[in-house]
Amino acid sequence: MEKVKIGLLGYGVVGSSVYRLLTKERVRILEGTGVDLEVTRIAEMDTTKHGADAPASLFTTDGSAVVEDPSIDVVVELFGGVDAAFELISCALRNGKNVVTANKQLLANRGAALFELAREKGRQIRFEASVGGAIPIIKVMRESMFAAELHTVYGIVNGTTNYILTAMLRGEGDYAATLARAQELGYAEADPTADVNGADAAAKMAILASIAFHSRVTLQDVTFEGIASIQPEDIAYARDLGFVIKLVGSARLLDEQVNVRVAPTLVPAGHPLAGINGSYNAVLLVGHAIDEIMLSGPGAGGLQTSTAVISDIVSIVSTKTTGFMQNCSCYRALPLLAEEEMRSAFFIRVRVEDRPGVLAQLASIFGERDVSIESLIQKGHGDQAELVLITHPSPEKDFRAALEAIAGLSSVRSRPMTIRVLG
C-alpha cells in the first residue's frame, strides 16, 4: 500500500471541506486506487480555525512549513490571492511536490510561469476546482476536447452572481440581502468584490480560453463587467420581453483571433442557460467536430468544490508513474480580437422626455449607424417616458457610437443602461 501525504494551504470553506471529505472517503479511495491519502499538515492564518474538525497538531500559521516539509507529496493551495500563493506553489514545485490549486486569479495572472516551472521540475499542477465548482470542465476540455476544434466556450461561471440574479428574479430579496446569503452559504470569495464585479468569472474564462484555443489568455486580456448596475426593473423588463439576465462569460476564436469577455447578458427564456439557477454553473463548448456540449452543475460551495480538489489528487496519484501529465497545453500564441470588432445585440433602458419627435430622434440615430431595432416598450412616468429597446446584432463600435450620440441628446434624461443579448 502506497501512502501519499497531503499538505493543505488554507482551511476556509473549501479547505475544511477537503479535509472532511478526504477523511470520510479515505478507505474508498484506498480501495479504488491502492493509495492511502492522508492530510498531515495544514497552514491556516486564522488560528480560531485550528483544531476545528482536524487535530490541532496538524496546524501551522506558516505556509512555508508545508511546502518545505520533505514528507509531503502533494500540496493543495486554497489560500487564494496571487503573489504569496505564487511563491508557495513555486517553492512546492522546486521541492518536488505535485500541486493542486483552486486559485483562478493566480492561474489567470501568473499561470504561464507556474506551468513552465512544473514542466521543468517534472511535476503536475492540477486546477479542476478553479472553474465551475464540482463540474469536471477542466478535465473534459483538456482531455476529451483535444480534437474537437473548439471555437466558442460560453456560459455561467460564477455561482454567487447567478445566485443573486436568480433570487432577484424570483423576488426573494434585493441585491445586498442575497449577496449576504451567498456569503453565508460559502459561495462567495472571502472578499466578494471579485464575484460581483466580474473578475472571478473573467479569470475563469481566461483559464477556459487558454485550454480551448491552446493559446495563453491572461486576466488582462479579458474585458469584464459585473452585475452591480443591474436594477430590478431591468430584470422585470427582460422577463416581459422573454429573456432572463445572466452573467455570461464567452470566449471566441474568430479568424484565428481570440476575444474573451464577461458581461451581464439577456438570455432567451428557452435557451439552456436560462434554466441554470442559484449557485449552479454551466459551460457550453462549441466546436466544428462536436457541435455543442453543455456541462452544468454546482458551481460554488465548499463540499461541491472539494470533490474537484480530491479528483485532482486522485488523478495525480494515478498518473504519476505513467508519465501522463497535464501542465500547460498552450502551444501557440494567437492575437486578441478587439471588443469593437465583435457583433452583438443590445438591450437599452433609458428615460426620455415624453414629447413628440423624441422616439424618432433615437430611431434615426440608430438608423444612421445601421443599428436596427428589434423590439420596443415605452412606459409613461409623468412628463418622462422609460424606453426599453432591443436591437438586432450590429458591430459593437456602431452601437457604441449611436449610444454616445443618444446620451448627448437634451431630451435624454438618464444615462442609458445597456445589457448585451446572447446570440
Distance of closest approach, residue 299 Cβ to ligand HSE, in angstroms: 5
Spell out the alpha helix ranges (H) of 189-259: 193-196, 199-213, 232-240
**Which one of the spans 146-154, 155-163, 236-244, 393-401 is the region binding ligand HSE (CB under 6 A)?**
155-163
- Give the residue with the Cβ less far from ligand HSE, 306 or 391: 306
- Give the residue with the Cβ less far from ligand HSE, 160 or 307: 160
Task: Considering only residues 339 through 378, tell me which ones interact with ligand HSE, judged by CB under 6 A.
Answer: none
- Give the residue with the Cβ less far from ligand HSE, 207 or 421: 207
- Give the residue with the Cβ less far from ligand HSE, 158 or 418: 158
Task: Considering only residues 280 through 309, tell me which ones interact with ligand HSE, judged by CB under 6 A.
Answer: 299-300
Site string for ligand HSE, 374-403 (x = CB under 6 A): ------------------------------
Which is nearest to 162 in space by CA: 43, 339, 298, 255?
Answer: 298
Are the CB atoms for 29 and 92 separated by under 8 Å?
no
- The 3-state DSSP class for residue 223 equals strand
- Give the residue with the Cβ less far from ligand HSE, 189 or 221: 189
Distance of closest approach, residue 150 Cβ to ligand HSE, in angstroms: 22
Instruction: Please tell me whether residue 200 binds ligand HSE under the rule CB under 6 A.
Output: yes
Kindly tell me the burial class for residue 245, based on how many C-beta atoms sit within 10 Å of its own C-beta (0-12, 13-18, 19 or more). Answer: buried
From 97, 204, 246, 320, the catalytic residue:
204
Distances (CA, A) of 291 to 151, 152, 239, 284, 294: 10, 10, 29, 10, 10
Q: How far apart are CA 11 and CA 95, in angstroms?
A: 22
Which is nearest to 219 in space by CA: 108, 69, 75?
Answer: 108
According to DSSP, the residues that pair with 247 across neighbouring strands are: 264
Instruction: Please tell me whether residue 158 binds ligand HSE under the rule CB under 6 A.
Output: yes
Task: Considering only residues 86 through 145, tell me which ones interact with ligand HSE, judged by CB under 6 A.
Answer: none
Binding test (CB under 6 A) with ligand HSE, winner from 16, 101, 103, 160: 160
Are the CB atoms for 217 and 117 separated by under 8 Å?
no
Query: Angle at which helices 104-121 and 83-94 pack, to 10 degrees?
Result: 20
Distance of closest approach, residue 158 Cβ to ligand HSE, in angstroms: 4
Instruction: Please tell me whether residue 237 binds ligand HSE under the rule CB under 6 A.
Output: no
Q: How far apart are CA 222 and CA 237, in angstroms?
A: 28
- Other beta carbons within 10 angstroms of residue 229's beta carbon come to 12
Q: How far apart are CA 95 and CA 71, in angstroms?
A: 11
Distance of closest approach, residue 80 Cβ to ligand HSE, in angstroms: 10
- Give the residue with the Cβ less far from ligand HSE, 215 or 279: 279
- Give the residue with the Cβ less far from ligand HSE, 88 or 188: 188
Task: Considering only residues 170 through 199, tell me which ones interact with ligand HSE, judged by CB under 6 A.
Answer: 187-189, 195
Q: How far apart are CA 22 and CA 309, in angstroms?
A: 10
| 204 part of the active site | yes
Distance of closest approach, residue 279 Cβ to ligand HSE, in angstroms: 7
- Interface size with ligand HSE, residues (CB under 6 A): 10
**Which one of the spans 74-82, 156-164, 244-252, 380-388 is the region binding ligand HSE (CB under 6 A)?**
156-164
Distance of closest approach, residue 278 Cβ to ligand HSE, in angstroms: 11
Distance of closest approach, residue 102 Cβ to ligand HSE, in angstroms: 7
- What is the DSSP-derived secondary structure letter of residue 92? H
SS3 breakdown of the chain: % helix, strand, coil, rounded to 5?
Answer: 40, 30, 30
Q: Which amino acid is at 264?
A: P
Instruction: Please tell me whether residue 249 binds ligand HSE under the rule CB under 6 A.
Output: no
By annotation, the residues acting in catalysis are 204
Contacts to ligand HSE by CB under 6 A: 158-160, 187-189, 195, 200, 299-300
